Amino acid sequence: MSDSVPLSDLAIAAYCPRKLHYVRQEDRSPPAVAERARELSRSYPDLLTASDAALTSKELAVPPPAYRDALARSRSRLDAWDAIVSPAETAVFVRGKAVHGRLDKVLAEPLAPVLVSPGTPPESGVWEPQSVRAVGAAKALSWREETPVEAAFVEYPLHGVVRRISVSTRRVADYRRTLRTVRALDGPPPRLHDAARCEPCEYAETCGVETRSLRSMLPFSGDR
């Protein structure tokens, strides 16, 4: 399908459509930490019982005791833990009606896609870009299997955290809005001017949006 959108484009556009414009012009190879996160996501049973020394060698984002505690909480909280540990499919490419991309895992019971993130989880739930991408993954999987997919999972293996999200009406609306944005993207869209998103963006200087870090490099011109 010529207008099928990559799942990765959905996530970037949900963060900032202008960022997607810049990302499309560069090498999009995943960083090494992404593969490290995937490797950890395949080793949860061993990580739960690993020694401090063994966990330290994994270059986790939190100390070994905190990591084991977080992973144990994920195990006790999720009914789908056994499926997360032993997924029906791994590293599978799925093409749906509107989107396509790589799913890190596919669960059979319950039928659900799993995305693995090398980043830090929010205090609860998942970040908006990951929510949009996860819903897109659920839609693509639903199209392939010809049956509804009502949930998706996002793993944060460097933190020992696994989160389940429902494919709710609100999340689907966010997904559809972002899908329309990606399809309409033609040239650089307007700047976002959102400090929380612009400050950490690696394209802030290229974009030209004014952030605190950029203002600090401007010459002082006195009172305004």
Assign 3-class secondary structure to the chain.
CCCCEEHHHHHHHHHCHHHHHHHCCCCCCCCHHHHHHHHHHCCHHHHHHCCHHHHHCCCCCCCHHHHHHHHHHHHHHCCCHHHHHCCCEEEEEEECCCEEEEEEEEECCCCEEEEECCCCCCCCCCCHHHHHHHHHHHHHHHHHHCCCCCEEEEEECCCCEEEEEECCHHHHHHHHHHHHHHHHCCCCCCCCCCHHHHCCCCCHHHHCCCCHHHHCCCCCCCCC
pLDDT, one tens digit per residue, over 142-200 is 999 999 999 999 999 999 999 999 999 999 999 999 999 999 988 788 887 788 888 88
The pair of three-digit structure tokens given for residue 16, joined into one six-digit string: 């900032």
How high is the pLDDT of residue 179?
97
Amino acid at 188: P
Most distant CA pair in the chain, distance: 64
To the nearest whole percent, how much of the chain has pLDDT over 90?
74
Q: Which of 130, 136, 120, 139 is nearest to 164 (CA)?
A: 130
Q: How confident is residue 218, by pLDDT bands cut at 50, 70 and 90?
A: very low
Give yes or no for residue 133 having a pLDDT over 90.
yes
CA distance 32 to 78: 28
The pair of three-digit structure tokens given for residue 49, joined into one six-digit string: 């019982």
Domains of the chain and CATH, by start: 5-212 (3.90.320)
- Omega within 30 of 0 (cis) for the link into 110: yes
The tokens 């999720």 sit on which residue? 78
Of the chain, the end-to-end C-alpha distance in Å amounts to 54
Tell me the residue length of the chain: 224
How high is the pLDDT of residue 208?
74
The pair of three-digit structure tokens given for residue 14, joined into one six-digit string: 């949900």
Q: Which of 46, 76, 79, 51 is nearest to 157 (CA)?
A: 46
pLDDT, one tens digit per residue, over 20-72 is 988 988 877 888 999 999 999 999 999 999 999 999 999 999 999 999 999 99
